[in-house]
């Protein structure tokens, strides 16, 4: 059987759902950030798959920008995590309740 766009659609949908489940079920903020990376990557995969099957390079260029934004996001996100850990000695999102009303 030959590969079609549907193989990639299915794979990236499942990867994205795994990312959502990770964000919603875990309390470790590092693993939540990793799950966000997982979701970004599944979107990247789908962009590249459509870009290939439509034979248009725009999707691939877009993936390059997504990767740039993801790199910036991880840099700032990890800096925030380090700062929070320094102040509150925890990485549990349940215990980070500064903004709770």
Partner 1 sequence: MKVFSEGPRSNNFERLLERETLSSQGSSMQTIMFYVLAVVALFSAMMVISRKQPVQSVLFLVLTFFCLAGLYVLLGAQFLAAIQIVVYAGAIMVLFLFVVMMLNLRDPDNIEGRSAWQGFGVIVGLGMLLVILAFIARSPSDTAMQDSALKTEAVQTAIIAGELNSTSTDADVENVENSIYRQGRADSMGGELFTSYLLPFEIAGVLLLAAVIGAVGLAKKRRA
Which residues in 8-67 contact partner 1 (CB under 8 A)?
8-11, 13-28, 30-31, 33-35, 37-38, 41, 44-45, 48-49, 51-53, 55-58, 60-61, 63-65, 67
User: Minimal CA–CA distance to 18: which of 44, 45, 37?
Assistant: 37
DSSP string of 65-89, one letter each residue: HHHHHHHHHHHHHHHHHHHHHHHHS
Please tell me whether residue 2 binds partner 1 under the rule CB under 8 A. yes
User: Minimal CA–CA distance to 47: which of 63, 36, 35?
Assistant: 63
- Min dist CB 43 to partner 1, Å, is 11
| Pick 1 or 98: Cβ nearer partner 1 | 1
Q: Please tell me the distance from the alpha carbon of residue 68 to that of residue 49, in angstroms, as a whole number.
A: 19
Among 89, 99, 100, 101, binds partner 1 (CB under 8 A): 89
């Amino acid at each position: 059987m030959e590969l079609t766009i549907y193989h990639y659609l299915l794979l990236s949908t499942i990867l994205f759902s795994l990312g959502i489940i990770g964000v919603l079920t875990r309390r470790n903020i590092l693993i939540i950030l990793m799950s966000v990376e997982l979701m970004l990557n599944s979107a990247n995969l789908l962009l590249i798959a459509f870009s290939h099957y439509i034979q248009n390079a725009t999707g691939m260029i877009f993936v390059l920008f997504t990767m740039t934004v993801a790199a910036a996001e991880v840099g700032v996100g990890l800096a925030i995590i380090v700062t929070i850990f320094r102040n509150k000695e925890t990485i549990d999102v349940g215990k980070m309740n500064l903004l709770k009303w």
